[in-house]
Structure 1
Amino acid sequence: MLALFAGVLLTSCDPEIDGTAPSKGDINLEKYVAVGNSLTAGYQDRGLYREAQLNSYPAILAQQFKLVGGGEFTQPLFEESQASGSGYLTFADFINGRPVIKPVPGAAVREGTTLPGGPALTKYTQPVQNLGVPGISVLTSAMKEYGAINPYYERLLEPAEVGTKPYFQEVAESNPTFFTMWLGNNDVLGYATDGGAPASPLSNLTDPAMFGNIYKNMVATLTANDAKGVLITIPNVTAVPFFTTVPYNALALTRQGQADSLNAAYGSGALGITFKVGPNPLVVSDPSVPARVRQIKSTEYVLLTALDSIAARGYGSKKPLPDKFFLDETEVKEIMEHTVAFNDIIRATAKDKGLAMWDANAFFESIKGGFKLDEVTYAPVFVTGNLFSLDGIHPTPRGYAIVANELIKTINSTYKANVPTVDVTQYRAIQFPGK
């Protein structure tokens, strides 16, 4: 696998060149502002750190905008002395075919100060144009208290603004000439990553009517001075490795004695749970059924966070997998319905305001089976797929470069521009041990 992956990394992929001169078309790129959440900040590997920030899709876009006369672009970068930022995950080893992932401690943590959303981070209160805040949702963007909850937003605020200034106001004050807005993912994602059992009220599914009201008002503030921009839809959560890496039938039994032992433990079929040699559906907790346990269905999703509990602690067999580690059919249906509703609002807002719209949901749906780009293979597969980082949700630098190119294509086609795309092979995928 290592040799194959190394070969993939070394294969070239050239940027698009259509022979015409670069041009900004019908847009003013003097001040580009990026509005959004962790995806906009460059978050990856379950953390925000300097390298990730430098390879965010807004940073890549701004770099390309400069080729057609775009202005400077400021991000709230962690200093080199605190390059590990909030901390992140790293790929340490392969053992028995499984990746060993270890944390890198955060160097930008302010000791002695903890917010409800985690340890406080080194302040950056200078004006910035990348307003990506990991964890923020459309709902929480309107809450003045959010700056005292989220450490990524708190670090951008002056002390007097903490707990008094909503993100919505920060966006309104940014006054862009051009913007991108990828916001709304966390209005479904927090619910999904918590297995449909939100650890916080702020992680619940947002009411679509409330979502629409806040979202439309935010776009109105961004376009108040005739700024143009791109609105981006919300990908379906089931299109990312966090929800697809662990199969429903991950309980692999190699001997008949194992199957017999589990069959006896669950009443020899009396509970409707049976086992055989080979792959078996995991056993999960479900208070809605008489036995309070059942085997998971093929239409349900096991979360990546369940992997260690299944592999090392025996969950899913003699120990039922807790609800926080999977999404049942009802929860999946709720997530899908909300995603559709939110994306309908985003599309309608783009149409109403005459803005470009990149359908990230359609893009990630279209690549579920993988794709090739100039002979390089990509797929939404954990570790080896080139696209997603070690948290299974956020892209690698190369994944962000691919996102930036898709946005550039949308900008070019909507605004009669010719912003050059990037060579995505200049951005890394997963870093394997020893590389």
Structure 2
Amino acid sequence: MKNILKYIFLPAVGFLASCSYEFPVNEIIEPTSGEANFASTIVIGDGIAAGFMDGALYDRGQSNSFAVQMTNQMKSLGGGNFNLPLINSVNGFYAIGPGNSILGRLILKTVNGVTSPAPIGPGDLPGPFSGNKAELNNFSIPGLTLGLALIPQTGGPNVPQNPAFNPYYARFASNPGVSTPIGDAATALGTNGTFFTFWLGSSDVLGYAVGGASNPAILTPNDAFAQRFTLALGAMLQANPDAKGAVANIPDLNVLPYFNLVPWNALPLDGPTAAAVNQGFAQYNGGLLQLQAMGAITEAERILRTINFTAGQNGYLMSDENLTDLTQFGLPSIRQSNSSDRSTLTLAQALGQPVGGNPQVVRGVSFPVEDQFVLTSTEQAEIQDKINAFNGVIASAVQANPQRLVLVDIKGLLNRVREGSVNSGGVSLTASIVPPNGGFSVDGVHPNGRAHGFIANEFIDAINSKWGANIPLVNPNAIPGNDLPIQ
């Protein structure tokens, strides 16, 4: 079997050697906060607002989040300190490795001329927050859905009977197992806050998407989303009737590199291997012809389900629950991937590998790729419909509070990034993980530090326009993006 990864990522020689940029010098304008008050900004959100990058929460990511960059710009208008629940870890926690070792954040590594994401090495489990919880400004938590934001179980206890437990909240919860993320943020806003940002909702659909739409139980129903969003945002509005806020929406699925890095035809086979595999599917293909003749399936579905590998790049064998159920005839719901499918980034490590250590059972060749590794066109449409519905709820909530809220269109921003129309000082931001222009961190889902600069500016532009402020813009080119690959 050929190396799958070399068909997924760029070779190391394709990366630029420098990550420095120029930023234009703008006309100096006297700062003013307009109709808003930025003395103390409270932030509530999920992983993006927390500074989660490269598959981990770590020091550099936290310090370069859009919330930090934005509030730094607000200091010229009387903004105060912006206190974070600092993780105090250079590498953070990505996964448990061999021998129960703790693996840190993802980086780009080049091995034998092939560059792909890999853990940097040792990392750290999230430990307790040692600072003053009463002085926190950022209550954002990786993986925080609206449902988890509203229940005390998110803070503990950490027992098998509590699937809601989130270690990133438990470490700084005001009263673990009793307090809630929204409750803590609202208390901070009501105590000494003057402005807030609210960016929740992405995790209500993202977890389902990155898992290949394989677990419907974690996809928030539309009515539940609307109810929870109203409760959560309402808690912030009620906490301080004088505070204004910026509310962000949910990006589209197709902008995320996580779903674009592994091509649908990522399976390389030589001629003899392809012929041998095809022989193994001859009976299956013959059965499809018989079922078409019987009227059990259409010709179009028979063609879709027919397995035919060739020398070169191939679509991989995959399961598809949307196919006609032919199990009564002894035929599984399988086909080869095509250009309408989106592979998840996790497939890069699984495709072409023996299943259960059996070299005759190869994932994507003789064993179908499981649901969690791929999104069919039907699943993609389902997820996009969900994003559209959730964004409708978000927009309506902002429109219902026109004096106090402004909508920050992050969906629109990232779609412009995908189209190649976003830049600073003539240097573009791309919807990729490739440095120096790539705007997504190495996990392919969360923006990197430089992209957070553009996100901060999107917030700033919306706030300035809404309330007549002139918060200075961030220089995104001064913020690090992804590091260059290491050997």
Q: Which amino acid aligns with 1:179?
A: F
Highest CA radius of gyration, 1 or 2? Answer: 2
> Which of these residues, 100, 115, 126, is aligned with residue 133 of structure 2?
126
Partner of 1:380: 431
Q: Which of 77, 86, 91 lines up with 1:84 in the alignment?
A: 91
* 1:240 paired residue number: 256
Q: Paired residue for 1:206?
A: 220
When residues 74 and 100 of structure 1 are mapped into structure 2, their CA distance, relative to the original with a 3 A threshold, is closer
- Matched with 1:347 is 395
Residue 245 of structure 1 deviates from its aligned partner by 0.9
* Residue of structure 1 in register with 2:380 after alignment: 332
**Partner Cα distance (2:65, 2:76) in 1:** 18
User: 1:7: Cα distance to partner?
Assistant: 5.2
SS in 1 for 2:455: helix
Q: How many residues align?
A: 416
Mapping of residues 109-124 of structure 1, within 5 Å: 109-110=126-127, 121-122=128-129, 124=131
Q: Conserved in 2, the CA contact under 8 Å of 1:125 and 1:157?
A: no
Alpha carbons 1:216, 1:349 under 8 Å: kept: yes
Bigger CA drift: 323-332 or 130-139? 323-332
Aligned to 1:156: 172
Q: 1:96 to 1:266 in 2, by over 3 A?
A: farther
* 8 A Cα contact 1:8 1:377, kept in partner: no
**2:469 is matched with which residue?**
417
Q: Name the amino acid aligned to 1:146.
A: T
Aligned-residue CA RMSD in angstroms?
2.3
TM-score, L = length of structure 2: 0.80
Q: Does 1:283 align with 2:317?
A: yes
Match of 1:171 in 2: 185
Distance 1:311 1:427 in 2: 38
Moved more, 265-274 or 176-185: 265-274
Separation (CA, whole Å) in 2 of partners of 1:283 and 1:374: 45
Hey, what's the Cα distance between the residues in 1 that align with 2:340 and 2:132? 46
Deviation at 1:351, TM superposition (A): 1.1
Relative to 1, partners in 2 of residues 1:109 and 1:347: Cα closer, same or farther, differing over 3 Å? closer
CA contact (8 A) 1:124 1:155 kept: no
Aligned to 2:479, which of 427, 430, 433? Answer: 427
For structure 2, the residue ranges without an aligned partner over 5 or more in a row are 1-10, 94-103, 157-164, 289-305, 327-331, 355-361
Q: Matches of 1:387 and 1:134 in 2, distance apart? A: 19
Q: 183-192 or 165-174: which moved more?
A: 165-174
User: Which residue pairs with 1:183 in the alignment?
Assistant: 200
Fraction of identical pairs, as percent: 29
What SS is found at the alignment partner of 1:221?
Answer: helix
Structure 1: stretches of 5+ with no match in the other structure: 111-120
- Structure 2: how far apart are the matches of 1:262 and 1:282? 12
Question: In 2 relative to 1, CA 427–283 (structure 1 residues): closer, same or farther, beyond 3 Å?
Answer: same
C-alpha contact 2:109 2:485 (8 A) present in aligned 1: yes
TM-score normalized with structure 1 length: 0.89
Report the Cα distance in structure 1 between the residues aligned to 2:320 and 2:399, rounded to whole angstroms: 43
Q: Is the 8 A contact 1:229 1:356 kept in 2?
A: yes
Structure 1 residue 211, shift from structure 2 partner: 1.4
- Which residue, out of 46, 50, 55, partners 2:55? 46
Give the secondary-structure state (helix, strand or coil) at the position aligned to 2:335: strand
The 1:154–1:335 alpha-carbon spacing in structure 2 relative to 1, beyond 3 Å, is: same
- Alignment-derived partner of residue 147 in structure 1: 155
Against the structure 1 CA distance between its residues 406 and 4, is the aligned structure 2 distance closer, same or farther, given a 3 Å change threshold?
A: farther
Aligned to 1:360: 410
